[in-house]
Homo-oligomer: A and B are copies of this chain.
Amino acid sequence: MPKIDLDSIEQKNRTGYPPPFDRAVAGRLVRRLSPATGLTDFGVSHVVLKPGAWSSQRHWHDGEDEFVVMLDGEAVLVEDEGRVILGPGDLAVFPKGTGNGHHLCNESDRDCVFVVFGGGVCTGGGYSDIDMLFTPEGEYVHKDGTPYAKRRV
């Protein structure tokens, strides 16, 4: 049956971010649902953020739309314009190519849970608050093009 048994899908907290940018996502636990369930038309991940954790460094995608469905707990969504609280049932949308970085930060004292969808083609993107871009080839580079030692995972 198509109802997903989350317990059967491994939760990982790895990241390709070079230090010190990796620290903010140490408390991010991700289940990648698309490969586990046979989807190929878009990516879906189930994400738990422990208190203090971020979903990512504040970023945008040049070629991939994103969509977030909040399931449980509370997160602060940050964009160039400011901050807004997301709670259960809230929906947030990030069309590709805006150059307006976003991320979710768990500033509460309990876990928050969301599902994030991504489509399109990776043509790169960037980070709003740090000296980093990501390339279509999965590399992290400084904004002057110099590579970091680590790759996206």
Contacts and interface: CB of A to CB of B under 8 A. Distances in A.
Given A2-B77, A3-B90, A95-B37, A44 B67 contact: yes
Could you say which of A6, A69, A81 has the most chain B C-beta atoms within 10 Å of its C-beta? A69
A65 B42 contact: yes
B3 A92 contact: yes
Interface of A: 1-4, 6, 33, 37-42, 44, 46, 64-65, 67, 69, 71-72, 77, 79, 81-82, 84, 86, 88-96, 102, 113, 115, 117-120
Given A89-B71, A117-B117, A38 B2 contact: no
A125 to B, nearest CB: 14
Contact of A6 (B44, B46, B88, B91): B91
Could you say which of A4, A67, A89, A90 has the most chain B C-beta atoms within 10 Å of its C-beta? A67
Nearest to A68: B2
Contact of A41 (B42, B72, B77, B113): B42
